[in-house]
Structure 1
Amino acid sequence: MRDTAAGDAPDTPGQQYGGGHGIIGGMPAGPDAATAADSPASRAPALSAVLRAPLSRRAGREVAYLLLGSLLGLAGALPVLVLLALGFAFVVTLVGSVVGLLLTVAALGLALGLGSLHRRLAGSLLGEHVPAPHRPAAHTGPGLFARLDARLRDGTAWRHVSYVLAKLPLSLIGLYAVQWWVVGLINLTAPLRWAVFGQGTHGMLLLTPLPFGGSPTAHSFAGSLLGVVMGLATLLVAPWFTRLVVLTDRWLLRALLGPGELAARVRDLEETRALAVDDSVALLRRVERDLHDGAQVRLVALALGLDMVKTKLADESTLDLDAVRRLVDGAHRNATEALTELRDLARGIHPPVLDEGLAQALETLTARSTLPVELTVDVPERPSPAIESIAYFCTAELLTNVIKHSGATRATVSAVGSPGGGLRLRVGDDGHGGAEAGTGSGLTGLAQRVRTVDGSLEIRSPAGGPTMITVDLPPRA
């Protein structure tokens, strides 16, 4: 660990990716955090959340999803099962094999349609937007059998069938979860029912959602108040039971109705490849612009100055040594500035200090900061040059944003090896916080740069600070 402060702001060659806020914030750690987690102040919000759960919008949406989704699941699973059973039964016979294949394909088509309805229902009620999976072409050749073969080999359709079949028992559980809400609400009306209808011949029945234990009976108005207690207890448990069923359904939706793992990986690789290509094109354009507007102009001025010196030296009769000295001084100045600009440009592509390792590069970077920076480096296994370069530029850009936008008085930088040989980079500050990735935010561009090597970026920046940005990078690009 070290504190550095002095000199110029850290070099940030290339595009700036930071937003207009502080960069990093910490989370409570150690014994104090454990004490805070067990304090009455921390238990009060949890208790309040439990009591408010039955009245929350989330609970209402989840109940509506379970009710509609379960009815759709039951209504859709039965015809799919019938079509599959008839299809398989006909396939085993020689005469009805074509009919069996047609019925099986019909079952696959019905499952695809049901899957689409379930995705829309989850998107509208739960906000779970599962992208539609990529499907192969409808047929691979002419003829009925070619089309049937393509349909039967459609893995996406069979995954939809798996969801429809898995949804069948889950629908029954979902309706049972809805029953908890119905029973709880009915029990809350026990005193009102007693006042209106009385106890009846054998007392007033109080309902229970449990499949065992029977149902208690109230024989007095005071006994009917037990129904209110049972109703409140049931309604306090119902949201969490509902949420458990919904979480299971969400997992099935993503696993079976979304893009397959391989397809998602291919799509991610295509996107990151496009980002890498765009980033390299932007870098080449920046280098071209800097060369054209900077070093090239200096070199042209240098060439013109030397040409003028050569012209004056050629005519010894009118030789003006003072004028020649001024031309030589100007040429020397242009040459020096061109070298400086070329050196800065080269540093923006690959800082020479990285050749000595990431620790030395980060130490040099933080030493140039105008803000006190606490640096920690513990990287037992050196990453690949590409990963070191990304880590260096991420640190430079984030530190620049801390200095410009966060209002912080100090910053922290840590680079440590993560399990599996990766690299975890953290940049933090004690500024006003509020940093977030979004449209027009430089942090979005930084996240895209990290993503090109299968890295990730996490932002913790509550309003008022502090802020903490964590970048996880693999050992090799």
Structure 2
Amino acid sequence: MHDTYTGAVRRWAVLRAPFTTRAWAEVAYCLLGFPVAVIGFVLVLVLLVLGAGLTVSLLGAVLGLLLVVVSTGLARVFAAVHRGLAAGLLGERVPSPMLLRPAGRAFARLDARLRDAAGWRSAAYVLVKLPVAAVELYAVGWWLTGLLNLSAPLRWAAFGQRPHEGAEGMPTITPIPVGGGAPHSTSFAGTFVAAAIGAVTLLAAPWVTRGIVAVDRWLVRALLGPGELAQRVRNLEETRALAVDDSAALLRRLERDLHDGAQVRLVALAMSLDMAKEGLGADGEPVADPGRLRRLLETAHSNATEALTELRDLARGLHPPVLDDGLPDALATLAARSTVPVELTVDIPERPTPAIETIAYFCAAELLTNVIKHSGARRAVLRARQEEGLLRLCLTDDGHGGATLGAGSGLPGLTQRVRTVDGTLDISSPDGGPTAVTVALPLHA
């Protein structure tokens, strides 16, 4: 059943790929990135070559070093442009490296700029980007040839493109060189062969573009970010701040809930018991008003019961009791309670620590809530598995897609929650679906 569902989703994804916003955004990225890549490559390479050439000479060494510094600074500017294109069109948001503000004397500042690792990574990206952009432009050619061949019957009928005397006919253009030449249409019926080739080319074009752009995405993440060590320090600072804020918010919530809930019930309980005690009178004296005393005791019992219920709810918010038997049983309970049918697969041979299980449970609960409230899905698949030392939760649904880190989805809160333990949350949700959210957590907090 699951294989049939997965196969249907994949076939539908292939058929609708050319019409998705993601596909056209990637085409726009390829087209807009090419001129920026050409200009950046020429300027940065010329400055680097001139600077390196002058540096090896005795008279122009200082000027050469200055040109090298200018080239890395200029590379940072082009890197910022490429980061903006990647963020705006691909959704690939890479944090920019820290601005370099060297202090000290002139030679100290020059030395600091020459040691600017982010600048050199930016220069490397600008130089590598040109061949990558050329291949991306080739990927755009798949779209153009597909559309051109698809319109062959219309062109034949509208413009009368018929073969001349001794000519081979209307050529079919293919993005891949074919031995012996591409087929030619010598009649109107033959143009439908070209149209079929165009349709196949157009269906393949988004995946060719996506594969080439994936290489560019990797380069952007590897070269245009703040660097592994700097990013690690930044993540630790942010997650520490998030953990402190989360703990403070939790304490405030507990204080408010105890003050406004259980504490009020306990105060009412104490007052009811005091009044009941006064109604008993002195030792050996009969009770003056048994009915009133009974009502006071009933009120005290009701307050005690409600206080216990509120305290259980508070404790459940800290650690769900369903996790006592392990994460698989807890996920099975979530899946069973969901109003959208959920197919659950769990493969966790090693039990994670309680903190990781709690985070995974709340992530699964929030993601299922989003599916029910926002996705319009008819079914969902939840997988929990252990691989490469990580616990991975993946929830896929067949809804209308468009899930983002906003719009009241609760996903920003999940992102903050998983980052406190050095986890990650990845979202793939093109317009029209399907949506796939993957949470990766370490097994030990």
TM-score by length of 1: 0.64
Residue 116 of structure 1, aligned match among 80, 83, 101: 80
In structure 2, relative to structure 1, the CA distance for the partners of 1:230 and 1:86 (3 Å cut) is farther
* Aligned counterparts, 1:20-35, within 5 A: 28-30=1-3, 32=4
Partner of 1:89: 53
- Show the counterpart of 1:294: 261
Note closer, same or farther for the CA distance 1:74–1:223 as it changes in structure 2 (3 Å cut). Answer: farther
CA distance in 2, matches of 1:244, 1:397: 32
1:475 is aligned with what amino acid?
A: L
* Cα separation, 2, equivalents of 1:172 and 1:363: 47
Question: Cα gap change, 1:361/1:295 in structure 2, threshold over 3 Å: closer, same or farther?
Answer: farther
What is the match of residue 358 of structure 1? 326
Aligned pairs for 1:237-316 (under 5 A) are 237=201, 239=205, 245-309=212-276, 311=278
Could you tell me which residue of structure 1 aligns to residue 408 of structure 2? 440
**Using a 3 Å threshold, how does the CA distance of structure 1 residues 419 and 70 change in structure 2: closer, same or farther?**
closer
Q: Who is 2:310 aligned against?
A: 341
Q: Is 1:165 equivalent to 2:139 in the alignment?
A: no
Q: Is the 8 A contact 1:383 1:422 kept in 2?
A: no
Cα separation, 1, equivalents of 2:373 and 2:176: 61
2:350 matched to which residue of 1?
381
For residue 111 of structure 1, what is the amino acid of its counterpart?
A
After TM superposition, the structure 1 = structure 2 runs for residues 68-79 of structure 1, keeping only pairs within 5 Å, are 69-79=33-43
CA contact (8 A) 1:208 1:214 kept: no
CA distance in 1, matches of 2:144, 2:367: 54
Q: CA deviation at 1:117?
A: 3.3
CA displacement, residues 381-415 of structure 1 (integer Å, 9 cap, x when unaligned): 22212123334555677788999999999x99988
Aligned CA RMSD, in angstroms, stands at: 6.0
CA shift, 1:98, in A, is: 1.3
Contact 1:416 1:423 in 2 (8 A): yes
Which residue number corresponds to residue 98 of structure 1? 62
Mapped to 2, the partners of 1:337 and 1:161 lie a distance apart of 66
Q: CA deviation at 1:161?
A: 0.8
Is 2:387 the counterpart of 1:419? yes
Instruction: Give 3-state SS (helix, strand or coil) of 1:418's partner.
Output: strand
Identity fraction in percent: 51
Q: What is the distance in 1 between the residues matched to 2:332 and 2:33? A: 59
CA contact under 8 A between 1:381 and 1:417: conserved in structure 2? no
Shift of 1:162: 0.6
Q: CA deviation at 1:85?
A: 1.9
Q: For residues 415 and 388 of structure 1, do their structure 2 counterparts lie closer, same or farther at Cα, with a shift above 3 Å needed?
A: farther
Structure-to-structure mapping, 1:29-48, within 5 angstroms: 29-30=2-3, 32=4, 46=14
Trace 1:175-194 onto structure 2 (pairs within 5 A).
Answer: none
More moved, 324-333 vs 67-76: 324-333
Aligned-partner Cα distance in 2 for 1:335–1:353:
25
Contact 2:22 2:90 in 1 (8 A): no
Residue 415 of structure 2 is aligned to residue 453 of structure 1: no
Structure 1, unaligned runs of 5 or more? 1-27
Q: AA paired with 1:133?
A: S
2:101 to 116, 129, 138: 138
Q: Report SS of the residue matched to 1:382.
A: coil
Conserved? CA contact 2:279–2:293, under 8 Å: no
Q: Residues 155 and 328 from structure 1, CA distance in 2 versus in 1: closer, same or farther, beyond 3 angstroms?
A: same
> In the alignment, is the contact (CA less than 8 A) between 1:366 and 1:375 conserved in 2?
no
Shift of 1:473: 3.8
What residue in structure 1 maps to residue 442 of structure 2?
A: 474
Partner of 1:152: 114
Maintained 8 Å contact 1:353/1:360: no
Q: Distance in 1 between matches of 2:86 and 2:384?
A: 40
Cα deviation, 1:165-224, whole Å, max 9, x if unaligned, reads 11333455456667788899699789979889x899x999989988898999x9xx9599
Structure 2 residue aligned with 1:14: none
Match of 1:12?
none
Task: Summarize the alignment of residues 161-240 of structure 1 with structure 2, pairs less than 5 Å apart.
Answer: 161-173=123-135, 237=201, 239=205
SS at match of 2:351: coil
| 1:296 positional shift | 1.5
Higher alpha-carbon Rg: 1
Cα distance in 1, alignment partners of residues 232 and 425 from structure 2 = 18
What is the CA distance between 1:83 and its match in structure 2? 1.8
**Structure 2: unaligned runs, 5 residues or longer:** none
Give distance in 2, aligned partners of 1:396 and 1:132: 29
Contact conserved, 2:73 with 2:119, CA < 8 A, in 1? yes
